[in-house]
Amino acid sequence: MTEAYATIVFLFVLFALLGSSIWVGLALMGVAWVGMELFTTRPAGDAMITTIWTGASSWTLTALPLFIWMGEILYRTRLSQDMFRGLTPWMRWLPGGLLHTNIAGCTIFAAVSGSSAATLTTVGKMSIPELRARGYPEYMIIGTLAGAATLGLMIPPSLTLIVYGVSINESIIELFMAGIIPGLVLAALFASYIIGWHFFRPNERPKDEPFMTFRTMLIESRFLVPVLLLVFAVIGSMYFGWATATEAAAVGVLGSLVLAAFQRSLTKQAFFASLMGATRTSAMIALILMGAAFLSLAMGFTGLPRALATAIEGFDLSPITLIAALTVFYIILGMFLDGISSVVLTMAIVEPMIRQAGIDVIWFGIFIVVVVEMAQVTPPIGFNLFVLQGMTKHEISYISKVAVPMVVLMLLMVVILVIWPELATWLPDNIRSSRIE
């Protein structure tokens, strides 16, 4: 009875604070404060100070602002434009043509960004005008871009995976490696949608691109080399054990600065704008994590997570049934909260449940990223929808409608992960075994 009362109070205070437009991090702290005062004898102020400092001073968390800064640098320099130029010659011959630049561009930029919004903005500002000028259907341009940009949440370095790893105290590098193969599979699903459109809607195809010799294609590909080198430096250094996640982030920042300076596209204004952009985003995420850490402590004192986990266990749900229920839960939650907030808000309750059910926490990290990716393109609070609205001037309803096939493909990705969990666990297991040897 006490747990039920605590649950009602927590939910009421949470929705009241969120509904008043208070920042998510402060809302979480407010809920935790109320819970500590009502249901425990420990001084709430002392607990809050200790927990917030511990959460904010985590060494693992230092990778977060560095990866964000790396993406900001690339966004504000010519590196992203060169990446698109180098991709174009190789996408033109595929069924669906240059629409594949949306998928390939987002996949590559996601590997040096970690942010869905940054990936969407960077690739979109280049691809949308080019694809419109060539006569591609508007619904395909917007829909494929909305879906592909969510790859920024999965392909390492992923900000969501960093937050998840910090929340449950798991290896960031193993989570990063777990996201590579599922990220590529999801990109392939998006590409297959374009190929299907090419064959089933032949009347909507634009004119064929002018012929380009293989030599010209190779020459144009030189623009891809800097970004690919940066991807290898960041991901390769972690995979081969040369660097921790934080060290790889520092390598990424240094590499992006060197490449941008070499291209003479790093102006003083761009440098400071990237630094301030990274600071604002990092501070926002850190505040959410502080609030989540305090809320987790408050819930732990009330015994609420343990009671819920016991209740779920009493239903005798199979792991697959539990995953299906959590999929629906996160889709609904994602309609009102961004991905990072959804993760940190629920981990205190969900983590004991998945461990009790015997679900691999590394695999679950990839699952939860796929599910919160859908939140980026589902109304009413789909962040990618707002970004695309600003870029294209379309109504949110239109953008949501053309992104529906991408949401269906993400649901299919959840099914694929359940059937073949090795897609997410094979690389981390290899890394773990190689270190033991």
- Reported as a pLDDT band with limits 50, 70 and 90, residue 338 is low
Distance CA 319, CA 342 (A): 21
Question: Token pair 């985003």 is at which residue?
Answer: 281
pLDDT (0 to 100) of residue 182: 92
pLDDT (0 to 100) of residue 18: 65
Residue 87: both structure tokens together: 């991709």
Q: Is the pLDDT of residue 109 over 90?
A: no
For the chain, first and last CA: distance in Å? Answer: 51
Average pLDDT for the chain: 79
Question: Can you give the pTM of this predicted structure?
Answer: 0.77
- Reported as a pLDDT band with limits 50, 70 and 90, residue 45 is confident
Distance CA 142, CA 87 (A): 19
pLDDT (0 to 100) of residue 60: 62
Q: Is the pLDDT of residue 245 over 80?
A: no
pLDDT digits (tens, 9 = 90+) for 370-414: 888 887 787 766 667 777 877 787 887 888 888 889 989 999 999
19 CB contacts (<8 Å, ≥6 apart)?
Answer: none
pLDDT (0 to 100) of residue 364: 92
Q: Is the pLDDT of residue 313 over 70?
A: no
What would the mean pLDDT of 225-239 be, rounded to a whole number? 80
pLDDT (0 to 100) of residue 276: 87
Which pairs with CB-CB distance under 8 Å and at least 24 residues apart come from 199-202?
A: 199/95, 201/137
pLDDT digits (tens, 9 = 90+) for 250-272: 888 888 888 888 877 778 888 88
pLDDT (0 to 100) of residue 4: 62
What would the mean pLDDT of 344-355 be, rounded to a whole number? 79
- Reported as a pLDDT band with limits 50, 70 and 90, residue 165 is confident
**Which one of 182-186, 217-221, 305-309 scores highest in mean pLDDT?**
182-186
Distance CA 190, CA 118 (A): 19
Cα–Cα distance list, 17 to 14, 24, 78 (Å): 5, 8, 42
Q: Is the pLDDT of residue 14 over 80?
A: no
Cα–Cα distance list, 51 to 2, 272, 375 (Å): 24, 32, 29
Cα–Cα distance list, 409 to 45, 124, 125, 193 (Å): 46, 20, 24, 9
Domain residues for the domain of 42 are 2-436
pLDDT (0 to 100) of residue 114: 67
146 CB contacts (<8 Å, ≥6 apart)?
Answer: 120, 376, 377, 384, 385, 388, 399, 402, 403, 406
Residues of the chain above pLDDT 90, percent: 9
Q: What is the DSSP letter of 304?
A: H
Q: Is the pLDDT of residue 193 over 80?
A: yes
Closest by alpha carbon to 108, among 76, 140, 82? Answer: 82
pLDDT (0 to 100) of residue 185: 93
Closest by alpha carbon to 275, among 260, 263, 289, 287? Answer: 260
Alpha-helical runs (H) found in 98-171: 100-110, 116-133, 138-148, 159-168
Q: Is the pLDDT of residue 187 over 60?
A: yes
pLDDT (0 to 100) of residue 236: 81
What would the mean pLDDT of 169-177 be, rounded to a whole number? 86
Domain count, the chain: 1
Q: Are 342 and 298 in contact (CB under 8 A)?
A: no
